[in-house]
Amino acid sequence: MDTLQKYEQYVVTSHAPAMPPVEVSHAEGATLTAADGTTYLDGFAGYSVVNAGHSNPEVLGAAKAAMDRHVHVGSYLYYAPAVADLAEKLAEITPGRLEQSFFGNSGAEAVEGALRIAKAYTDRSEFISLQYSFHGRTLGTLSLGGNARRKRRAGPMASGVAMAPAPYCYRCPLHLTYPACDVACADEVQRVFDTQTSGNVAAFIAEPVMGEGGIIVPPPAYFPKVKRILERNEALFVADEVQTSFGRTGAMFASEEIGVEPDILTSAKGIANGFPLSAFTTRREIGESFLPGDHFSTFGGNLVSAAAALATIEFLERERIAEYTRQMGEHVLSVLSAWYERHPLIGDVRGKGLMIGIELVTDRETKEPAPDEAKRVQEECRQAGLLIGCGGFYGNVLRFQPPLVITQTQAERALEILDGALSAVDAVAAVPAST
């Protein structure tokens, strides 16, 4: 039996039907080599994770050194220097007054922890999240998510979650146009407080850039306006930075650039460059609100992952990766935006740093989503040697989220392949069904 057959026989995955036929051998920098010897440019970084590049020698060196001493002793059982150092480092680099961290293993676990501490601090129990959002696959995080398809056959969802319209300008839920709209979607958050909650809201949670929803970038005035509403209602702001942190958007944390300071910030994916680790980071007075025994995670703050995280952050800082990402992202976005004339499938191009989405539509007037075409472009790219993501609420957004160490030459090559793939699918899409 080969690896693909063993997956089919033995691995539980609801994603296998959509997985490209790539059997992994090894990966380095911004490339991934398959078992058949094909080397791909990696434009998705293992779901936007390996920001410091595959097999980063500094991260691997730190992890190996940690492993020579121990793998696990229980970071909430005994005092672990790597965990203390990492928490201190996060206090230094996270925005504003964020100071104390709790460590888990996955993004969802970080968000669950954030919900838990928000409840403990406020003594309230409800949450407001956004339509089109994604926060994870555990019951609590799934309940926050704004996509009914993800919740199929998983109900009943947790109670106490209300949803506000997403700041999705390309498909404005209020049918308005930015900036004339005066960010009316932010005002809707007050309406949600008034009409969908019992006034017992602990926190509002949002992604600074909405990843799984389709790389949706809220307009600059959105979060400051929402924050004023939250202050009026004495609710906390949780920035879910599981996907946007550690340089991805051209800043160490995307919330450095949204005009407000989060009360709680969740991170995962890029934190340890592929080693399983997550954190929520909060202000001291919030962090101190758990009672003894309230919260725990056996593997949370794993010592190998914590050492890898410290090395990852050191690498990202020293190499000024956020700055590099910002410049590279601006370049890629400007190239992609110029393709609008050439590729009729492109409805919208948007993003921040190297978190870039291309939304495909079959008709620019009606904005009819083109998920089949998006899948075909993704496959054309793969056949030409580039791996990219495909997602979004309608399944029609191509996602370019490579390792942040991607070189200029590699980025140009990726754009060339993408251009060719779009041309191939444009040409097929343009053929009338009757021919």
Ligand X SMILES: Cc1ncc(COP(=O)(O)O)c(C=O)c1O
Closest approach of ligand X to the CB of residue 407, in Å:
26
Residue of 99, 188, 207, 373 interacting with ligand X (CB under 6 A): 207
Task: Please report the sign of the dihedral spanned by the C-alpha atoms of residue 231, residue 144, residue 350, residue 317.
Answer: positive
Closest approach of ligand X to the CB of residue 250, in Å:
17
111: contact with ligand X by CB under 6 A? yes
Residue 52 in tokens: 């410091």
- Spatial contact of 135 and 146, defined as CB atoms under 8 Å apart: no
Chain CA centroid to CA 243, Å: 2
User: Of 19-27, 29-37, 129-137, 293-301, which part binds ligand X (CB under 6 A)?
Assistant: 129-137
Strands 386-387 and 39-42: parallel
392: contact with ligand X by CB under 6 A? no
Q: Which is nearer to ligand X, 222 or 345 (CB)?
A: 222
User: Of 207-215, 228-236, 359-367, 369-377, which part binds ligand X (CB under 6 A)?
Assistant: 207-215
399: contact with ligand X by CB under 6 A? no
Closest approach of ligand X to the CB of residue 110, in Å:
7
User: Of 87-95, 101-109, 195-203, 339-347, which part binds ligand X (CB under 6 A)?
Assistant: 101-109
Identify whether 179 is preceded by a cis peptide bond (ω within 30 of 0): yes
What's the one-letter identity of residue 100?
A: Q
Q: Which is nearer to ligand X, 178 or 280 (CB)?
A: 280
Give the per-residue contact string, 131-160, with ligand X (x = CB under 6 A; - = no): ---xxx------------------------
Which residue of this chain has its Cβ atom nearest to ligand X in the complex?
A: 107
Q: Which is nearer to ligand X, 86 or 421 (CB)?
A: 86
- Spatial contact of 218 and 208, defined as CB atoms under 8 Å apart: yes
Q: CA dist 356 to 57, 74, 126, 172, 334, Å?
A: 27, 38, 32, 19, 11
Chain CA centroid to CA 158, Å: 23
243: contact with ligand X by CB under 6 A? yes
Chain CA centroid to CA 160, Å: 24
Q: Which is nearer to ligand X, 241 or 380 (CB)?
A: 241
Q: DSSP states of 190-246 as a string? A: HHHHHHHS-S-EEEEEE-SSBTTTTSB---TTHHHHHHHHHHHTT-EEEEE-TTTTT
User: Of 84-92, 130-138, 312-320, 378-386, which part binds ligand X (CB under 6 A)?
Assistant: 130-138
Closest approach of ligand X to the CB of residue 141, in Å:
6
Q: Strand ranges (DSSP E) for 12-170?
A: 24-28, 31-34, 39-42, 100-104, 126-130, 161-164
What's the one-letter identity of residue 377?
A: V
112: contact with ligand X by CB under 6 A? no
- Spatial contact of 99 and 263, defined as CB atoms under 8 Å apart: no
Q: Which is nearer to ligand X, 143 or 243 (CB)?
A: 243
242: contact with ligand X by CB under 6 A? yes
Closest approach of ligand X to the CB of residue 133, in Å:
8
Q: Which is nearer to ligand X, 254 or 425 (CB)?
A: 254
Give the per-residue contact string, 256-275, with ligand X (x = CB under 6 A; - = no): ------------x-------
Residue of 107, 140, 213, 270 interacting with ligand X (CB under 6 A): 107
User: Of 54-62, 104-112, 183-191, 350-358, which part binds ligand X (CB under 6 A)?
Assistant: 104-112
Identify whether 156 is preceded by a cis peptide bond (ω within 30 of 0): yes
**Cα separation of the two ends of the chain:** 42
Q: What residues contact residue 84 under an 8 Å CB cut-off, 6+ apart?
A: none
Q: Tell me the C-alpha distance between 140 and 26, whole Å.
A: 35
Residue of 56, 75, 106, 129 interacting with ligand X (CB under 6 A): 106
Question: Could you give the 3-state DSSP secondary structure of residue 288?
Answer: coil
211: contact with ligand X by CB under 6 A? yes
Q: Tell me the C-alpha distance between 164 and 317, whole Å.
A: 36
Binding residue count for ligand X, defined by CB under 6 A: 14
Restricted to residues 330-349, the positions that interact with ligand X (CB under 6 A) are none
Residue 136 in tokens: 């994870």
Return phi, psi of residue 297, to 5°: -155, 120
Question: How many of the other CB atoms lie within 10 Å of CB of 188?
Answer: 20
Residue of 42, 112, 188, 240 interacting with ligand X (CB under 6 A): 240
115: contact with ligand X by CB under 6 A? no
User: Of 51-59, 167-175, 240-248, 427-435, which part binds ligand X (CB under 6 A)?
Assistant: 240-248
Residue of 42, 99, 212, 263 interacting with ligand X (CB under 6 A): 212
| Gyration radius of the chain over CA positions | 21
User: Of 103-111, 184-192, 314-322, 346-354, which part binds ligand X (CB under 6 A)?
Assistant: 103-111
Q: Residues in the site for ligand X, rule: CB under 6 A? A: 106-108, 111, 134-136, 207, 211-212, 240, 242-243, 268
